[in-house]
């Protein structure tokens, strides 16, 4: 059985190259839409990731496993929100790892 440590799970913030910005067309979002069009903010995704070293004879294979992530986040949302999303994604990743038969400590 492979054992992994929770503290080895890292947060990845990735640019969202194809965000759904349709909500900016709603009434009340005019200022926010203008800010987006002026490049004042963009969109990103947040996911949890772990890199595993899998024994392969005398060497090791590095394998990354990532949570699905949450996408379409305004990149000026604030660190508290990014951390909240990461914690949710980390729990998803832990469940994925346990489903694959790994022990998470």
Distance CA 2, CA 42 (A): 38
Domain count, the chain: 1
Q: What is the pLDDT of residue 8?
A: 96
pLDDT at 44: 98
Band of residue 1 on the pLDDT scale cut at 50, 70, 90: confident
Q: Which two tokens stand for residue 98?
A: 């346990």
73 CB neighbour count, 10 Å cutoff: 19
Closest CA to 14 of 53, 48, 61: 48
Q: Domain of residue 29: give its range.
A: 3-104
What is the model's pLDDT at position 10? 98
pLDDT at 2: 82
Helix (H, G, I), strand (E, B) or coil at 1: coil
Rounded CA-CA distance 48/61 in Å is: 20
For the chain, the distance separating the N- and C-terminal CA atoms, rounded to the nearest angstrom, is 13
Q: Which of these, 50, 31, 59, lies nearest to 89 by C-alpha position? A: 50
Averaged confidence pLDDT in the chain: 96
Q: Using pLDDT thresholds of 50, 70 and 90, give the confidence band for residue 5.
A: very high
Q: Dump pLDDT digits (tens) for 33-76.
A: 999 999 999 999 999 999 998 888 999 999 999 999 999 999 99
């Amino acid at each position: 059985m492979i054992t992994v440590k929770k503290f080895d799970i890292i947060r990845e913030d990735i640019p969202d190259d194809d965000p759904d910005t349709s909500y900016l067309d709603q009434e009340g979002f005019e200022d926010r839409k203008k800010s987006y069009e002026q490049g004042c903010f963009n969109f990103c995704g947040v996911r949890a990731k772990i890199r595993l070293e899998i024994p392969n004879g005398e060497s090791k294979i590095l394998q990354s496993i990532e949570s699905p992530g949450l996408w379409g986040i305004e990149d000026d949302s604030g660190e508290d929100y990014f951390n909240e999303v990461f914690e949710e994604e980390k729990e998803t990743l832990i469940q994925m790892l346990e489903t694959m038969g790994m022990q998470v400590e």
